[in-house]
């Protein structure tokens, strides 16, 4: 089986999420690997969200916010660029390659750039291979086997309707 | 009423927790009046075999300090769980992995290399390493197995209560002991002997709007004794740490180190502190902000000083 990277994307409502929306409405084709979580501001993303994504099986995390100076909340993303360089070094100390975490400023008009970033990041993570978390018999908080299984079932469950959608298009 | 039977055990620990028990000073007499100590390796002469001979649930309360680093620690954790009605994770190591948990950023091989071969003060030409079994003319000698990963107590056995601190404040220990004697313990799984509020909420230093002008270190600068340490640029974990220790560190003019663990509802103490502290550095452009937070040389081991084993990543990936 080929490795398909699972990437979690935290995208700010006002810029990057809207940029992703633009990529969609413009029908730009790009890698489907990013699972997008819409947040109101990149400054709302606690570093814990990113670590939780990794601890529960993400191979990469993409974070998107407004360009500094363009923040809908004036300086919400200032908090982002103050925290993330420190978090990057924290992750490295835990053995997580810094290339698995990417912070990008994407505005609402940059749909093509969003698609290019996702494509590039997906290939970077693909080259790094699956994430190896060193739990060694210790289960990450809230990531027990019991909860991991229904996720797979959920994917299977949705596989059918997707096919039928494809058939009608 | 029959006297309570209590025990205290040190697993992978420095001994400071047991000393904190002794720091009850004359109040230890009150403890001895209310309870019999049936097992306490640092102070009494009971052997493991004495514990093994006890009927199950014979001990009323066991205070277990230290992390689980080797097979001996793990064996005793299981044994004392079986023999005790109430098991208390006592001190930061049992609660969150503690300082011992810092070893989770290294592998067993790296630790052995540093300890036995690859350091300046050790001559070990024959590369002698600890073996689990060694044959000598008199018979077989054994050592416990050193694990690759440190675990906190509740990653090994079921734990009833957590009493945080490195070491726990003796006043809190005495209060918890009083609650045990009075039968007034909170629901299972509670953190006892600590506040639900953070250090900052109870800290008496002067606080204004948080803006960190740049980070300083105690080795090269001296904080004043009045103002919030963070506002002066000295790292302090108070923002993400429970109160209860009576601010021992801040009162000696040094930042909180976080030994009392996170307040309720926090996913990870280290990440919470990292987030809170980094977000208030006084920098309004990316390059300055990066340069400022780069002045924190070792984020993982600073912010998770006592809590790597409890952190979501748990150890460095290998």
**3-state DSSP of B132-172:** CEEEECCEEEECCCEEEEEECHHHCCCCCEEECCCCCCHHH
> Nearest 5°: CA angle at B263, between B262 and B268?
40
Q: How many CB pairs under 8 A join A and B?
A: 115
- Tell me the CATH number at A79: 3.40.50
A47–B contact, CB cutoff 8 A: yes
- Report how far residue A133's alpha carbon sits from residue B318's, in angstroms, rounded to the nearest whole number: 8
**What's residue B133's pLDDT?**
93
Nearest residue of B to residue A52 by CA position? B312
Domains of chain B and CATH, by start: 4-100+149-181 (3.40.50.700), 106-147 (no CATH), 195-313 (no CATH)
Would you write out chain B's pLDDT as a tens digit for each of its 318 residues?
689 999 999 999 999 999 999 999 999 898 989 999 999 999 999 999 999 999 999 999 999 999 999 999 999 999 999 999 999 999 999 999 999 999 999 999 999 999 999 888 988 888 888 899 999 999 999 999 999 999 999 999 999 999 999 999 999 999 999 999 998 999 999 999 999 999 999 999 999 999 999 999 999 999 999 999 999 999 999 999 999 999 999 999 999 999 999 999 999 999 999 999 999 999 999 999 999 999 999 999 999 999 999 999 999 986
Which of A50, A83, A96 is the mutation pick for testing B, counting most B CBs within 10 A?
Answer: A83
Q: Which residues of chain A lie closer than 8 angstroms to B317, CB-CB?
A: 94-96, 131-134
pLDDT digits (tens, 9 = 90+) for A5-14: 999 999 999 9
B278:A54 CB<8 A: no
Q: Does A93 touch chain B (CB under 8 A)?
A: yes
Half-sphere exposure of B102 (CA within 13 A, CB side): 12
In a domain, A33, yes or no: yes
For residue A35, the enclosing domain spans: 7-131
The total domain count for chain A is 1
Q: Is residue A117 part of a domain?
A: yes
What ipTM does the predicted assembly reach? Answer: 0.93
Looking at every residue in chain A, the average pLDDT score rounds to: 84
CA B201, chain centre distance (Å)? 22
Q: Could you tell me if B70 and B12 are in contact, meaning their C-beta atoms sit under 8 angstroms apart?
A: yes
Would you place residue A149 in the very low, low, confident or very high pLDDT band (cuts 50, 70, 90)? Answer: very low
């Amino acid at each position: 089986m080929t490795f398909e990277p699972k990437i979690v994307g935290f995208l700010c409502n006002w810029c990057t999420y809207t940029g992703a929306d633009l990529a969609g409405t413009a029908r730009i084709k790009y890698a489907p690997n990013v699972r997008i979580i819409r947040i109101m501001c990149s400054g709302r993303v606690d570093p814990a969200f990113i670590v939780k994504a990794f601890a529960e099986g993400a191979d990469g995390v993409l974070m998107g916010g407004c360009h500094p100076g363009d923040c809908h909340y004036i300086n919400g993303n200032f908090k982002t660029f103050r925290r993330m360089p420190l978090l990057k070094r924290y992750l490295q100390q835990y053995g997580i390659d810094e290339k698995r975490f990417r912070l990008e400023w994407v505005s609402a008009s940059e749909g093509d750039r969003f698609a290019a970033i996702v494509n590039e990041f997906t290939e970077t993570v693909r080259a790094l291979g699956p994430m190896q978390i060193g739990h060694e018999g210790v289960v990450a908080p809230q990531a027990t086997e019991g909860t991991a299984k229904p996720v797979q079932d959920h994917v299977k469950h949705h596989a059918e309707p997707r096919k039928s959608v494809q058939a009608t298009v | 009423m029959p006297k309570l039977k209590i025990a205290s055990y040190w697993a992978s620990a420095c001994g400071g927790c047991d000393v904190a028990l002794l720091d009850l000073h004359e109040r230890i007499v009150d403890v001895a009046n209310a309870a019999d100590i049936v097992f306490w390796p640092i102070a009494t002469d009971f052997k493991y075999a004495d514990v093994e001979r006890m009927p199950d649930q014979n001990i009323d309360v066991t205070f277990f300090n230290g992390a689980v680093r080797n097979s001996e620690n793990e064996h005793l954790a299981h044994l004392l769980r079986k023999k005790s009605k109430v098991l208390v994770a006592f001190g930061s190591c049992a609660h969150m992995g503690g300082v011992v948990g810092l070893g989770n950023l290294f592998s067993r091989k790296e630790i052995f290399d540093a300890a036995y071969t690859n350091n300046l003060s050790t001559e070990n030409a024959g590369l002698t390493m600890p073996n689990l079994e060694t044959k000598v003319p008199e018979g077989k000698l054994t050592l416990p197995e050193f694990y690759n990963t440190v675990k906190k107590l509740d990653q090994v056995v079921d734990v009833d209560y957590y009493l945080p601190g490195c070491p726990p404040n003796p006043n809190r220990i005495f209060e918890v002991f009083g609650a045990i004697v009075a039968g007034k313990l909170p629901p299972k799984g509670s953190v006892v002997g600590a506040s639900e509020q953070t250090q900052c909420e109870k800290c008496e230093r002067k606080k204004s709007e948080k803006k960190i002008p740049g980070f300083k270190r105690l080795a090269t600068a001296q904080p004043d004794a009045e103002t919030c340490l963070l506002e002066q640029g000295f790292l302090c974990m108070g923002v993400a740490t429970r109160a209860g220790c009576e601010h021992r560190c801040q009162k000696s003019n040094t930042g909180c180190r976080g030994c009392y663990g996170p307040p309720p509802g926090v996913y990870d103490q280290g990440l919470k502190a990292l987030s809170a502290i980094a977000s208030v550095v006084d920098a309004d452009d990316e390059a300055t902000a990066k340069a400022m937070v780069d002045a924190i040389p070792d984020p993982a081991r600073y912010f998770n000083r006592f809590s790597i084993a409890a952190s979501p990543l748990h150890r460095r990936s290998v």
